[in-house]
Amino acid sequence: MKKIFSKKYLFRNCLLITAILSVAVHFIGERNIGNWIFGFSQLSFGLILVTAFGTAIALGLKDDKIKWLYPILSAMFIYLLPPLLSIDQIGFGYFMYYLVFGALLFFAASLITALLGVIIGSAIAWVRRKRKKFQIIKTITQIREHITAAKRDGKSIGFVPTMGALHEGHLSLIRKSAAENDITVVSIFVNPTQFAANEDLDKYPRTLERDCELSKNTGATVIFAPTIEEMYGRRTESSAPTHCTYVDVESLTQGLCGKSRSTHFRGVTTVVAKLFNIVSPDRAYFGQKDAQQLAVITKMAADLNMPVKIIPCETVREPDGLAMSSRNAYLSPAEREQAIVLYQSLTAAKELISAGERNAATVKGKIISILNSKNLAIIDYVEIVDFETFCEAETIVPPTLIALAVKFGNTRLIDNVIIL
């Protein structure tokens, strides 16, 4: 019985059952053809309207798990089979009249029903969004209890890990997650293990109240904002850390940002692995601005068989092209004005490649010359690498990553373009 009504077999079995019933009724009720045709017309008409209404509500709710379209062709089959089997008695002319009139009637009724369904579905979705209880959770125990209860109810979990100081780039990830999942968890945690001793951990902006408000208004349902002690344990009296386990992804972390920030990616992969273990998301969302980070996390999740799908999202930029970053706030007015040179140099590289240039050294030289035209720009690196292996590329063959890091004063900015 389960197989008869399962999604996999539903359409086939609807047609089969309809055919059997139609043939049976045709031979049993041959003397009362009019009533037979009328009865099946009513049945198919009702089935189509229910299907249209259900489909429209599903569209309004943006719920791709609801499969209402299966019975639609079966309904048309129910509608057309009786007169087709009786065409020798009712005549071809009446059959065509029945077909055209019925098609027009069904189309009009389905359209009106579908529009009504979209309105109702959208209204239900709006009410659901408004009724979602927004929570700020600060302990691992509480977030696990919340996620366990949600998964018990069959809800999907989207996850956006951040260090706070949210901007439009972060918000675009939250919106995408909210559109694709029942629950969106946003973590706000300034992770100390990805900062070196001479980096900006202490002055990294911490704006939890503002970040929570932005997340809530963008579609997040849960903020996970743990303390350092909650994530890594308390230090002992001798100041030795109680946390001794780290995650390293080799090869992909050796170049680019890993060359000048040797401990950075170990900190990133460790905290993300911990967060994946705590939140247990179905999907996790990362921006392509941090292309190396995205590749490293994707590799980590695959190598460790983590049950999470990594969703890459396009870089969000300021109107003048500068990639959005929490560190942009550190820039002085003069530095901010010159910082757009990162985007300008990458754009020039893309244009050069579009014109037919494939020599990586030539493209790299073009980028460096544009960056050096700004007196406040100090180049950390400009690299052209194979996007899958992160090995240096001599010839530009898709997929290729062109990545750069540039300092303005004490502020280090990164950007990239992927040649596909």
- Listing DSSP states for 204-272 in one string gives S---HHHHHHHHHHHT--EEE---HHHHH----TT---S--------STTSSTHHHH-TTHHHHHHHHH
Clarify whether 170 is annotated catalytic: yes
Q: What is the largest CA-CA distance in the chain?
A: 98
> CA angle 346-350-355, nearest 5°?
145
Beta bridge partners of 329: none
Cis peptide before 281 (omega within 30 of 0): no
Q: 144 and 269 in contact (C-beta within 8 Å)?
A: no
Of 26, 170, 243, 264, catalytic = 170
By C-alpha distance, which of 170, 162, 165, 143 is closest to 209? 165
Which are the contacts of 244, defined by CB distance < 8 A and separation ≥ 6? Answer: none
Q: 265 and 290 in contact (C-beta within 8 Å)?
A: no
Neighbours of 280 (CB within 10 A): 19
What residues act catalytically? 170
